[in-house]
Structure 1
Amino acid sequence: MTDDQLQALKIAFTYMPQAIEVTRYEYGDRYTVILEHIETVRAALLELGIDPDEVGGEINPELSPNSSY
């Protein structure tokens, strides 16, 4: 994967809903498929040595809270 492709994956991931936000009420019967898609992207990032929970702060640092430790 090139650096540009990896950056594109990270950007796309930041626009995906968080798994906790995906409910049947919001997404209907497709909610399980959406959860699977989110997990697939998270797994791909982890395989590349990237912490998915840190991607949002890397892509949009101005929206990320400052760490206190």
Structure 2
Amino acid sequence: MADEDTLQALKVAFTFMPHPMEINRFEYGDDTDKVQAQVKFVREVLAHHGIDPEEVSGDINPDSEPNSCY
């Protein structure tokens, strides 16, 4: 199991990764499939450790995350 510092580092790095909807052939060319697979892998590792990838950005940068409309 990963230690807390490693998970925190993964979460920080994840905030710099493109969102899956941003990964396209125009931006990434022949690397599109590879980039999609890498992002998917990181998302799966976060989820395996009980971390919701959709919540990571707000956790790492709470001041820059928009307020929920709910």
Please classify the TM superposition score into its range, dividing by the shorter chain length.
Answer: over 0.9
- Percent identity, aligned pairs only, is 49
Q: CA RMSD in A?
A: 0.7
Residue 29 of structure 2 is matched in structure 1 by 28
Q: Which runs of 5+ in 2 are unaligned?
A: none
Task: Decide which structure has greater helix share.
Answer: 1
Name the counterpart of 1:61: 62
Aligned length: 69
Deviation of the 1:35 alpha carbon: 0.2
TM-score (norm 1): 0.95
TM-score (normalizing by structure 2): 0.94
Distance (Å, rounded) in 2 between the aligned partners of 1:60 and 1:5: 18
Local SS of the residue matching 2:40: helix
Alignment partners' CA distance in 2, 1:25 and 1:62: 31
- Unpaired runs of 5+ residues, structure 1, are none
Corresponding residue of 2:52? 51
Which residue number in structure 2 is paired with residue 18 of structure 1? 19
In the alignment, the residues of structure 2 paired with residue 12 and residue 53 of structure 1 have an alpha-carbon distance, to the nearest angstrom, of: 14
